[in-house]
Structure 1
Amino acid sequence: MTPAVPSSLVAALGLAALRGATLAEVDAAAALQHRTDRKYLLPVDRARLLVEGLSASHHVLDLGGRRTTGYLSTYFDTEGLGAWRAHVQRRRRRWKVRTRLYAEDGLCRVEVKTKDGRGATVKHALRAPTHAYGRLDEHAAEFVDGVLRTAGVPVTTAALTPAAEVRYVRAALADLDHGSRVTLDGHLTCHRDGRTAALDPGHVLVETKGGARPAPADRLLLRLGARPVSLSKYIVGQSLLTPSLPGNDMRRIARAHFTTRTEPVPSPERTTAA
């Protein structure tokens, strides 16, 4: 089972009307590993207006006719949820460690995200075997430890265990001329210990990824009445699914757009990339 039926997001956002771009084209123009991210929670109807407004300058990532991808991400944290606490306390040295599976393609990566001295996000990634999703083997641990050590984060993989899984369906838009990207995530859920937190299906999470100055997408979002929010999928999930954690601004935002429930979480089908 992938996180949701991708075609519904394609139709809801009007993605079929955009020009397509290959993964190689998007990576060549807009594979930003050192970037400024801005996030917005947007009703689906306004997200469609955003897509329409960007159609002249942006392409949609098209993978052999498929315009969305199912993502599954297992986040790792310390026993005391050090990554969660560093984020909600807005510490300078924030970090996240996860394994990510691209469901339809069976591709897996180990990713480490940190903040630099200017507050920009720096992402490091390592390709991993599909069967390694959800765990950190010796090779992955060496990679993660090296990135965290270089970033000055006093944590090693020996202290990390799987803390939550996030699932969603993503569409990716890219301005091939100027190197900025926009992602739209729908059918977003977070899972921990048999409980699920789900984003209202009438909303999508929009992220702009570019330089320090707002991109055209940010200016269009402003005209559509959207304002940036401080929101992390993992942080929201933990905030809602672990009641013992202290209250925080993100939990208050999340309660207006997310619901929680208790139910078995089916294992996703994982295909092997050709």
Structure 2
Amino acid sequence: MTPCSSLTAELGLENLRGATLAEVDAAAALQHRVDRKYLVPLDRARRLIARLSDSHHVLDLGGRRTTSYLSTYFDTEQLGSWRAHVQGRRRRWKVRTRLYAEDGLCRAEVKTKDGRGATVKHALKVPAAEYGELTAQVTEFVDRVLDRAGVPVTAKELSAAAEVRYVRATLADLDHGSRVTLDGTLSCHRDDRTAALDPGHVLIETKGGAQPASADRLLLGMGVRPVSLSKYIVGQSLLTPGLPDNDVRRLARAHFTTVVNPAPLPAERIRAA
């Protein structure tokens, strides 16, 4: 069983009504949003999905209800993006290229925070062969977005810092414009080291407005509380020697296992994963 089909079965996604990508994007694209994150045992995640089945659809891509994501994150030599998040700075930012593996689609993305603390995401479609690269087109895009957000960093200061891989299912409330994503088989990679989330958990993100959505209320009712957790920040915190200890690392150590691989995964295998 593939990771995608396994997550579909474990979460009971086959029991939900499907929605096309166009329907989800039209109702709940949410480039400007408030994100809330939860680390949830699989059994509670399955219960959550069952209770959302009346109001939410699952993104269905020709019968496939999950997608494998690969994201390469870029940072400065001093890990300016990582430090801005760990230190809670107002002008936090992330730069990444993201590959949707089964679909062969790739985007360059820049995430920043607005004056109210909400996440603002900007995206640029690029050829899949350019995954993990800052081409001239992407460099111009990154510089433009960061400059408008008042972030004093340019693309020429950035290099690939870590890769994150996971399988994602997306639920959408088509009537109210909110989304829920569930990420399983989550792992972070840097050089020859890997940090992997406990396979008995998924990372759930709710993406909506300032007020908690139905998924947030249901999770709170199950005794699950939000966590401040970024996949990239976790990866760097666990995999980069010499970084100062922080709340993210302490949280991650309870749910992630770190190993040293015999050899780094070749770039051509990363792109084909």
State whether residues 37 and 210 of structure 1, in contact with CA within 8 Å, keep that contact through their aligned partners in structure 2: yes
2:249 matched to 1:251? yes
User: Cα deviation per residue 1:166-214 (whole Å; 9 max; x = unaligned)?
Assistant: 0000000000000000000000000001100000000000000000000
Amino acid at match of 2:103: D
CA distance in 2, matches of 1:190, 1:205: 13
SS of alignment partner, residue 102 of structure 2: coil
> Could you tell me how far 1:22 is from its partner in structure 2?
0.2
CA distance in 1, matches of 2:80, 2:270: 28
> Could you tell me how far 1:224 is from its partner in structure 2?
1.1
Q: Which runs of 4+ in 1 moved over 3 A?
A: 268-271
Alignment counterpart, residue 74 of structure 2, candidates 73, 76, 83:
76
> Could you tell me how far 1:249 is from its partner in structure 2?
0.3
What corresponds to 2:10 in structure 1?
12
SS of alignment partner, residue 70 of structure 2: strand
What corresponds to 1:268 in structure 2?
270
What are the equivalent positions in structure 2 for 1:138-153 lying under 5 Å apart? 138-153=136-151
The normalised TM-score by structure 2 is 0.97
What corresponds to 2:28 in structure 1?
30
What corresponds to 1:115 in structure 2?
113
What corresponds to 1:64 in structure 2?
62
> Could you tell me how far 1:75 is from its partner in structure 2?
0.1
Gaps of at least 5 residues in structure 2 are none
What corresponds to 1:189 in structure 2?
187
Amino acid at match of 2:166: Y
Amino acid at match of 1:114: T
What are the equivalent positions in structure 2 for 1:191-210 lying under 5 Å apart? 191-210=189-208
State whether residues 106 and 270 of structure 1, in contact with CA within 8 Å, keep that contact through their aligned partners in structure 2: no
Amino acid at match of 1:237: G
User: Cα deviation per residue 1:217-249 (whole Å; 9 max; x = unaligned)?
Assistant: 100010111100000000000000012000000
CA distance in 2, matches of 1:106, 1:194: 26
CA distance in 2, matches of 1:167, 1:203: 15
2:237 matched to 1:239? yes
Amino acid at match of 1:110: A
What corresponds to 1:180 in structure 2?
178
> Could you tell me how far 1:50 is from its partner in structure 2?
0.6
Gaps of at least 5 residues in structure 1 are none
> Aligned residues: percent identity?
76
2:40 matched to 1:42? yes
SS of alignment partner, residue 270 of structure 2: coil
The normalised TM-score by structure 1 is 0.96
CA distance in 2, matches of 1:243, 1:259: 15
SS of alignment partner, residue 153 of structure 1: coil
SS of alignment partner, residue 235 of structure 1: helix
> Could you tell me how far 1:11 is from its partner in structure 2?
0.6
CA distance in 2, matches of 1:50, 1:187: 19
Amino acid at match of 1:251: R
CA distance in 2, matches of 1:101, 1:269: 8
Amino acid at match of 1:259: T
Amino acid at match of 1:238: Q
User: Cα deviation per residue 1:54-100 (whole Å; 9 max; x = unaligned)?
Assistant: 00000000000000000000000000000000000000000000000
What's the RMSD between the two structures over aligned residues? 1.0
What corresponds to 1:133 in structure 2?
131
CA distance in 2, matches of 1:153, 1:100: 21
What corresponds to 2:225 in structure 1?
227
What corresponds to 1:101 in structure 2?
99
CA distance in 2, matches of 1:76, 1:60: 31
Amino acid at match of 1:146: R
